[in-house]
């Protein structure tokens, strides 16, 4: 291989690596945010179930605050990941941005493989072993048409999720991130459409499916199944609470015994 051709391949491989790196970094950021939100949702759900089953009969303020904070955090996480930035005002790193970066990476690698031989491209791959390099190597051995078809399918799933995303955006914008003035004189009009827990979970599961599908290569694993671990943690905590449910809570620094009812 002459030097000029080698330099040309190196330049194209470097560009492909940069495209893939943008996609993998966006994937890491969004999967972390989604997992955080899912954990918050599970905590809020556990507290709600414990209240419903009358397992909490003290520490009401603590658990009520925990539930509200976790519900709000889960909604914020969902909107951070799924809410489109249609006018690109905030340059949001959302899931639409991720799919755009993935599509660009796939198309860049496809053009690279169309122009040069497989062995010539492999010879110019980065020596270092990281997620981006592993993803690039993986893209050299798969059907690019199938990957583009998957990305189009993910976009359709996001479109189908739009009614729920709109309700999440309404809750975030009018109650969580900002307080709508109508809360003062007409609070019932602020949230005209109820947001159900089943809808929140459906949104999480849909986004999880898309995010997981974007992990194309081995060596990158998305840890989503934290329900068992959180459930175990909560059962331990609620067991301690149940043990003391019938006992009055002593207020430090006084001789007063206070019972939460």
Instruction: Please report, in tens digits, the pLDDT of each residue of the chain (261 residues total).
Output: 678 888 888 898 899 989 999 998 999 899 999 999 999 999 999 999 999 998 888 888 999 999 999 999 999 999 999 987 765 555 788 999 999 999 999 999 999 888 888 888 888 887 777 778 888 888 888 888 999 999 999 999 999 999 999 999 989 988 888 888 888 888 777 777 888 999 999 999 999 999 988 886 544 455 556 888 888 999 999 988 888 765 554 444 333 333 323
**Sequence-distant (≥ 6) Cβ neighbours of residue 67 within 8 angstroms:** 43, 44, 47, 48
Give me the residues paired with residue 258 across strands.
249
Do residues 219 and 184 lie in contact, with contact meaning Cβ atoms separated by under 8 Å? Answer: no
- Tell me the DSSP string of 33-44: HHHHHHHHHHHH
Q: What is the pTM of this model?
A: 0.83
- Which residue has 């499916």 as its token pair? 209
**Sequence-distant (≥ 6) Cβ neighbours of residue 113 within 8 angstroms:** 121, 140, 144
How many CB atoms within 10 Å of residue 230? 17
Please provide residue 141's backbone torsions phi and psi, each rounded to the nearest 5 degrees. -120, 10
Cα–Cα distance list, 172 to 113, 169, 193, 225, 248 (Å)? 45, 5, 13, 26, 38
Q: Of 215, 216, 218, 238, which Cα lies nearest the Cα of 35?
A: 215
Cα–Cα distance list, 186 to 159, 169, 196 (Å)? 32, 19, 22
């Amino acid at each position: 291989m002459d030097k000029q051709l080698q330099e040309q391949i190196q330049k194209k491989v470097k560009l492909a690596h940069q495209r893939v790196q943008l996609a993998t970094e966006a994937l890491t950021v969004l999967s972390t945010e989604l997992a955080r939100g899912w954990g918050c949702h599970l905590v809020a759900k556990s507290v709600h179930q414990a209240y419903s089953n009358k397992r909490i009969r003290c520490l009401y303020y603590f658990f009520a605050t925990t539930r509200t904070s976790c519900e709000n955090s889960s909604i914020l996480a969902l909107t951070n990941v799924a809410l489109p930035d249609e006018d690109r005002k905030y340059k949001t790193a959302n899931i639409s941005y991720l799919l755009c970066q993935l599509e660009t990476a796939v198309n860049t690698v496809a053009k690279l493989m169309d122009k040069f031989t497989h062995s010539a491209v492999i010879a110019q791959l980065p020596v270092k072993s990281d997620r981006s390099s592993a993803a690039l190597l993986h893209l050299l051995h798969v059907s690019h048409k199938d990957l583009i078809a998957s990305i189009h399918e993910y976009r359709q799933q996001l479109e189908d999720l739009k009614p729920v995303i709109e309700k999440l955006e309404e809750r975030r914008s009018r109650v969580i991130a900002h307080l709508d003035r109508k809360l003062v004189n007409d609070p019932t009009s602020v949230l005209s459409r109820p947001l159900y827990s089943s809808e929140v979970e459906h949104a999480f599961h849909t986004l999880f499916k898309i995010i997981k599908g974007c992990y194309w290569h081995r060596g990158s694993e998305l840890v989503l199944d934290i329900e068992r671990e959180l459930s175990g943690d909560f059962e331990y905590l609620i067991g301690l609470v149940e043990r003391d449910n019938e006992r009055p809570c002593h207020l430090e620094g006084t001789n007063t015994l206070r019972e939460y009812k």
